[in-house]
A and B are shown apart, each in its own frame.
Chain A
């Protein structure tokens, strides 16, 4: 059975060109094991455009001034598995350390908590941050919560904004949280509007040279993103995060990521957690 049985095939040279393009535009470095994924995910797209090959599709992306097709392409390769309260330690750290420290630091105001989920995917991460804050009302009730959630993929952002999650995938969620924050609609648990509106979703490309934020963040989550970046991109990103953090603010990265071999000015707290001095 050859490749064409599965539709339009992609050769090594074509894959190389897409890999370069995606790296240039998003910082994502595709490994060889993504070749098949790229082929599978783009086949339908290529056919629906009436094109015959990956080379033709490359030309189409390249010539599209609106960059809409580029967004489609990045969407196809950047989706990621996630779940509520992934890496539970970070949420414990939030309530045990980051919040009390922030309250102390801002005891004379402004009474705002600024948090950023920098690669929010389908929303599980920012909503888990939100639940964590709300579940500690005794700590957070007097504070204005500003929770920003961004991603480079418009598709996952749309899903995040809908806040609908298949019931079958919510096994691990405590039932009192489900009752409090969700309503059931068909096969999904859907975030109640009130809570969904507490998260600001925005499209954002982390390799942008400038971060456009007026205010500094108290906490930034950027988990399982840097694994797709090479070292220079990673280093640059950490510098930008550092600049975007308030002194005393925290950066949480994914468990597969370590800054041990990256030059940065953050203070190591514990694995995957760093503080801006």
Chain B
């Protein structure tokens, strides 16, 4: 499962679109790794990359939404924080070499992106209409 990038995922703010695309790219790479088998180091590196990028993106997005007085910010933040917690928990599971990359994880992440960007982020799109 992968997210096909399309205009329906554009939030109307280019830097955020770029963040989203990069996140999808990392998840695609993770999917490939999970299909191939057990490049543990590569898998962990992708998770770390996704965590770093998520923190950067969520922080910037939340700050911008707050600046624009977005009414649904708290619920939006909840989704972000929850994904971060999930990611950190996933990362924890791979701190030792035992576990193999898993498609259940990449499917979860791809689905999260599709729903979060396609539905939750879509709700703030009017704020960026020129």
Instruction: Give A228-277 interface residues, CB cut-off 8 Å to B.
Output: 228, 255-258, 260-261, 268, 270-272
Of the listed stretches A30-38, A140-148, A159-167, name the one at the interface; the rest are far from the partner chain. Answer: A30-38
Q: Tell whether A80 pairs with B75 under 8 Å between CB atoms, given A87-B115, A255-B111, A255-B112.
A: yes
Partner pick for B81 among A31, A81, A255, A257, CB 8 A cutoff: A31
**Chain B residues with Cβ under 8 A from A34's Cβ?**
74
Nearest CB in chain A: distance from B44 CB, A: 17
A86 touching B119 by the CB < 8 A rule? yes
Closest to A33 in B: B77
Partner pick for B74 among A37, A86, A271, CB 8 A cutoff: A37
Nearest CB in chain A: distance from B65 CB, A: 13
Nearest CB in chain B: distance from A187 CB, A: 18
**Chain A residues with Cβ under 8 A from B115's Cβ?**
87, 89, 255
Closest to A79 in B: B75
B23 at the interface (CB under 8 A from A): no
B79 touching A270 by the CB < 8 A rule? no
Nearest CB in chain B: distance from A221 CB, A: 14
A271 touching B82 by the CB < 8 A rule? no
A31 to B74, CA, bound (A): 11
**Chain A residues with Cβ under 8 A from B119's Cβ?**
83, 86-88
**Chain B residues with Cβ under 8 A from A272's Cβ?**
108, 111
A227 touching B107 by the CB < 8 A rule? no
Most A C-beta atoms less than 10 A away, residue of B86, B90, B102: B86
Nearest CB in chain A: distance from B43 CB, A: 15
Nearest CB in chain B: distance from A107 CB, A: 31
Interface size class of B (residues with CB under 8 A): 20 to 34
Nearest CB in chain A: distance from B34 CB, A: 13
A87 to B72, CA, bound (A): 17
A133 to B81, CA, bound (A): 34
**Chain A residues with Cβ under 8 A from B77's Cβ?**
33
A255 to B74, CA, bound (A): 17
Interface string of B9-44 (1 = CB under 8 A from A): 000000000000000000000000000000000000
Partner pick for A256 among B72, B79, B89, B105, CB 8 A cutoff: B79
- Residues of chain B having any CB pair with chain A under 8 Å: 1, 72, 74-75, 77-79, 81-83, 86, 89-90, 93, 102, 104-105, 107-108, 110-112, 114-116, 119, 123
- Residues of chain A having any CB pair with chain B under 8 Å: 31, 33-34, 37, 80-81, 83, 86-89, 227-228, 255-258, 260-261, 268, 270-272
6 A-B pairs besides A87-B115, A270-B1 with CB distance below 8 A are A31-B81, A34-B74, A255-B112, A256-B116, A268-B104, A271-B111
